[in-house]
């Protein structure tokens, strides 16, 4: 547990908070004094996460929220604002990532639409509902969770396109929200060890060798970046993307290894 308390008195809403990056973010912000509304489409799982954090003396409530449904989003935002008296931070973490089909032309409209609706439009719904509350707080901040898939080809066409759109939304919303005193930033994770990799540990171990820092990320690595961008330590930062990827997009490890092996 961190000794830093940058979020005393802050009301925070985190989407996709039942597990992985969302759960780690809820924990990190609560450890720093925030009152956290942990939401997820799986409301029971969100409650289990919140209950475990409450057992540690942290102020975390849970609610079901389907970011694909406007009414559900608006109810969650209103619930957080009512519970805490203000909403100061929104973390858009909910996402969907469908596997690619073997041939691009076999991609379905339905899978494409679902990835974009949850990953990109879902964040838009949350921002739209939360922005008046964030502006009223006087210290509002939005942190969107992006992906290195928006920067380079790592597969997953629809998810990658949605994350690229989220990066653009971050910039355009930052320009609009600045006059209202709200900062909007993006965290760009590389490979993170979450339940999405369960059963594929061998692949995760192979991926590790591509990272200059010698490991894949942990949810806590991303949560720490979110906490920074949401805090007053980042008071003069908006519209930016903070890449947290162990050096993956900065260094082509495979190319370097191939050159060194060839003696070139």
Which sequence positions are flagged as catalytic?
159
CB 172 within 8 A of CB 212: no
Burial class (CB in 10 A: 0-12, 13-18, 19+), 75: middle
Grouping H, G, I as helix, E, B as strand and the rest as coil, residue 65 is: coil
Return the structure tokens found at 179.
Answer: 């006059």
CA distance linking residue 238 with residue 179, whole number of Å:
12
What are phi and psi for residue 250, nearest 5 degrees? -90, -30
Return the structure tokens found at 182.
Answer: 């709200």
Return the structure tokens found at 259.
Answer: 């050159």
CB 90 within 8 A of CB 185: no
Return the structure tokens found at 131.
Answer: 């922005």
DSSP-assigned letters across all residues of 93-152: -----PPPPSSGGG--HHHHHHHHIIIIIHHHHHHHHHHHHHHHHSS-EEEEE--GGGTS
Give the number of other CB atoms < 10 A from CB of residue 152.
10
Sign of the four-CA dihedral 62, 67, 69, 70:
positive
């Amino acid at each position: 547990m961190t000794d830093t308390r940058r979020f005393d008195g802050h009301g925070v809403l985190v989407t996709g908070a039942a597990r992985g990056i969302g759960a780690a973010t809820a924990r990190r912000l609560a450890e720093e004094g925030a009152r956290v509304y942990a939401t997820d489409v799986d409301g029971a799982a969100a409650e289990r996460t919140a209950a475990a954090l409450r057992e540690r003396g942290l102020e975390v409530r849970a609610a079901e929220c389907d970011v694909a449904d406007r009414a559900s989003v608006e109810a969650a935002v209103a619930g957080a604002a009512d519970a805490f008296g203000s909403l100061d931070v929104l973390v858009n973490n909910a996402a969907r990532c469908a596997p690619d089909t073997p041939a691009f032309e076999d991609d379905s409209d339905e899978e494409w639409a679902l990835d974009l609706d949850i990953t990109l439009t879902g964040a838009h719904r949350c921002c739209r509902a939360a922005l008046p509350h964030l502006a009223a707080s006087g210290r509002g901040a939005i942190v969107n969770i992006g992906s290195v898939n928006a920067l380079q080809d790592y597969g997953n066409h629809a998810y990658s396109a949605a994350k690229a759109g989220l990066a653009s939304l971050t910039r355009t919303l930052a320009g609009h929200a600045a006059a209202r005193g709200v900062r909007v930033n993006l965290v760009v994770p590389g490979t993170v060890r979450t339940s999405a990799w369960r059963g594929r540990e061998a692949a995760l171990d192979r991926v590790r060798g591509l990272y200059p820092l010698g490991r894949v990320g942990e949810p806590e690595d991303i949560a720490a970046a979110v906490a920074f961008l949401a805090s007053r330590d980042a008071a003069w930062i908006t519209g930016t993307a903070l890449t947290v990827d162990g050096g993956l997009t900065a260094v082509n490890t495979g190319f370097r290894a191939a050159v060194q092996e060839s003696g070139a």
